[in-house]
């Protein structure tokens, strides 16, 4: 009798029916399956800031991506201003650029074609230029720096492998070196330009999904 009562008190599995948790898990798995193996995107809006960014995303987990980028700081208006003040006696070298590596994770939204994303990046910056040109005090300035960014945004995906993203990249930079050398004598410029400060970019990009 005791065995019968215990067996009646135990929950019996309901075959052919899914719990709410199982249904939600199935929905998220379906949305995750819509995430592509890799993508390519371009951020041209940062021409107005610290230079355009070309970024690739390689899927390494259900929702996570490894993300390298190349930022061409020479083509950024704020970068140019920081180096030259838009004056004729200073130039920024076209080789000035930055490389970054980061992680980005997508959270499926209400629709399969919309995703919230967050991530973080580490960046190495190399920039150089000329100052006090055509004078006895002309010098070459070289800067190396590192920066760290957080990234939060939203992505809209079309049905033909095209998407738009809008987000923000707040961060902080730290100069490893930022020194000048006189071009006429090769001697060091007496001022040290090293700085560290807050920095930020807008993540307004368009790109393409590659399914294979």
Domains, the chain, with CATH or none = 37-210 (2.40.160.20)
Predicted pLDDT of residue 27: 44
Judge residue 147's burial from the number of C-beta atoms within 10 Å of its C-beta, 0-12 exposed, 13-18 middle, 19 or more buried. Answer: buried
pLDDT at 138 over 60: yes
- The pLDDT of residue 19: 60
| CA atoms of 172 and 196, how far apart (whole Å) | 7
For the entire predicted model, the pTM comes to 0.82
Residues 72-119: pLDDT tens digits?
999 999 999 999 999 999 999 999 999 999 999 999 876 667 899 999
On the question of pLDDT at 147 being above 60, the answer is: yes
Report the candidate in 131, 123, 101 with the shortest Cα–Cα distance to residue 175: 123
List, for residues 188-206, the tens digit of each pLDDT value.
999 889 999 999 999 999 9
DSSP 158: -
Average pLDDT, integer, range 117-146:
96
- Cross-strand partners of 130: 91, 140
The predicted model gives 168-186 an average pLDDT of 95
Q: What is the pLDDT of residues 14-42, one digit of tens each?
A: 445 556 554 444 444 444 556 899 999 99
């Amino acid at each position: 009798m005791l065995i019968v009562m215990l067996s009646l008190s135990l929950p019996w599995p309901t075959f052919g029916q899914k719990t709410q948790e199982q249904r939600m898990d199935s929905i998220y798995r379906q949305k995750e399956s819509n995430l592509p193996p890799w993508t390519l995107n371009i951020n041209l809006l940062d021409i107005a800031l610290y230079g355009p960014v070309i970024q690739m995303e390689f899927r390494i987990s259900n929702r996570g991506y490894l993300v390298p980028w190349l930022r061409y700081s020479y083509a950024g208006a704020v970068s140019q201003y920081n180096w030259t003040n838009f004056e004729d006696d200073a130039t920024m070298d076209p080789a000035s650029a930055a490389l970054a590596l980061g992680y980005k994770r997508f959270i499926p939204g209400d629709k399969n074609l919309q995703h919230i994303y967050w991530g973080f990046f580490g960046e190495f910056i190399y920039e150089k230029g000329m100052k006090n040109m055509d004078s006895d005090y002309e010098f070459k300035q070289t800067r190396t720096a590192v920066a760290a960014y957080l990234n939060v945004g939203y992505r809209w995906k079309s049905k033909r492998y095209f998407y738009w993203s809008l987000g923000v990249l707040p961060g902080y930079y730290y100069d490893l070196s930022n020194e000048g050398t006189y071009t006429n004598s090769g001697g060091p410029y007496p001022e040290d330009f090293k700085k560290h400060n807050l920095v930020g970019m807008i993540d307004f990009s368009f790109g393409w999904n590659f399914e294979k």
